[in-house]
Amino acid sequence: MIRIITLLSGHGLASLSTLARNLLIARLLGPQDYGLAVALVLLAAAAEMGTTLGLPQLIVSHKKGASRKFQGVLHSIQIARGLLGAVMVLFCAAPLANLLGAPEVASLLRWAAIVPLVLGFTHLDPYRAQRHRKHLPHSLVLAIPATLSVAAIWPVSAWQTGPQIMLSLLLVQACASVAVSHLISRRPYRVCLQSSQVRQVLRYGLPLMGNGILLFAVLHGEKLVAGAGLGLAEMGLLAMGFALTLTPALILARSFQAYYLPKLRQDRSPVLGLSTLLGGSYLIAVASLAPLLVPFLGAGFAGLISVIPLLACLAALRLPKSALATAALASGRTHLPAIANLPRLLALPIIWLSFGWGGGIETLIRVAILSEITGVGIGILLAHTTPFPTRDILVASVIAGLILSDQLSLATLTCVIGWTLYAVGPSPLRIRSTA
């Protein structure tokens, strides 16, 4: 229980800090300039996700993950990742500025290249502690930098204006993340290269890199399409909607993965049913609480109220999808998450076409939900999930329907019944486990 609380507190504090930062910046800037600030975040995220090789997961799950030499190889690859990410940002800055109809901000966007360059020198030793289910070091690396980035808003906003504020905060968080990772590491930082181990890392990580690119499209593609098709103000509005509903879900999904990945190395515990019920609970919480924060943002963001239930449904689907990805990582089938993310990528042209037919943000979200459901279904089929949690999926589906029908009380009652049945034992509808 203490391990779970430690893990969730670190991820939870990081989540709340990120959300607080976005809320404060959105209030300072308004939808239009917040859209440009989001563009900076997108470039930093593209560099991170487009070069991901699963190094933190590998140091936990690989049989040589505790080796000093193997850790040194991972550090060398991490530095190369940072360099590659910086180059990606420099090349993508001008095209992104042109896509958003603001070519004059290309020079500002190029400064985001410093973020991946700095993160390339992160010490990976805090992740090694998770091999022994010690989550405090990882939690500190997450929570402290995110908290510092919030504390830096006031001094930064005193001498900067506009989207430059977001750039400075991203740099503060990146530098703090690297500093904290080195300060709390138990081993000295070292780099080394060994061709055989580099090949092992690339075999493990290249499918994850492909999935990272797909995941970037999943998490941020709709924002880019909205910015190009509807304008920066609509992009800022949608990005804030994702911040309110999706950011905590991603942190919860990462906590789920960090906790269960070491466990799944030793046994194949069924995690899909648990994650599905967590998704239903999360949906209720977000649909209840997120609307309370919208008035704080100002009149420019009032349009979010009507689409929060849809955005909450979309965010809740990340939890069962993350459970499937965790099981795939534990078994070394790193290609499965990429396949499950393909439907969301293929939906982007449909969203673009819908704008020409008079569609808006609500149409975008509905298409994204359908594609995400398809991705989860494909993930379940490919993972050969047994036992199949029929009852848990049915409960979560009923909760979603009630939330979209504005029946919050009934949705909460259904959720309580679902958790009670889960605690009692396996559903008679489940397929008997063969693994």
Domain extent listing, the chain: 2-424
Q: Going residue by residue through the chain, which has 435 residues, state the pLDDT in tens, using 9 for 90 and above.
A: 555 555 556 667 877 888 889 899 999 988 888 989 999 999 999 998 888 887 887 787 777 766 788 888 889 999 999 999 999 999 999 999 998 888 888 999 999 999 999 999 999 888 887 776 676 787 888 889 999 999 999 999 888 888 899 999 999 999 999 999 999 988 888 888 878 778 888 888 788 888 788 778 877 888 889 888 888 888 989 999 998 898 778 777 777 776 676 666 555 566 788 889 999 999 999 999 999 989 988 888 988 999 999 999 999 998 888 888 777 766 667 677 778 888 888 899 999 999 888 888 999 999 999 999 998 888 888 776 557 788 889 999 999 999 999 999 999 999 999 999 888 866 544 444 433
The candidate with the shortest Cα–Cα distance to 113, out of 142, 91, 96, 98, is 91
Amino acid at position 253, single letter: A
Identify the DSSP state of 432.
P
In sequence order, which residues have a C-beta less than 8 Å from that of residue 251 and are 6 or more positions away? 11, 12, 14, 15, 18
Q: Supply φ then ψ for residue 334, to 5 degrees.
A: -75, -5
φ, ψ for residue 193 (rounded to 5)?
-130, 135
Q: Is the peptide bond before 262 cis (omega within 30 degrees of 0)?
A: no
User: Could you please report the per-residue DSSP string of 155-196?
Assistant: HHHHH--TTHHHHHHHHHHHHHHHHHHHHT-SS-------HH
**pTM over the 0.85 mark:** no
Q: For 189, which DSSP code?
A: -
**What one-character DSSP code corresponds to residue 133?**
T
Q: CB–CB of 157/172 below 8 Å?
A: no
Number of CB atoms found within 10 A of residue 117's CB: 18
CA atoms of 378 and 380, how far apart (whole Å): 5
How far is it, in rounded angstroms, from Cα 422 to Cα 274? 8
Q: In 231-334, which ranges are continuous DSSP H helix?
A: 232-245, 247-266, 272-297, 308-316, 318-330
Distance from C-alpha of 362 to C-alpha of 366, rounded to nearest angstrom: 6
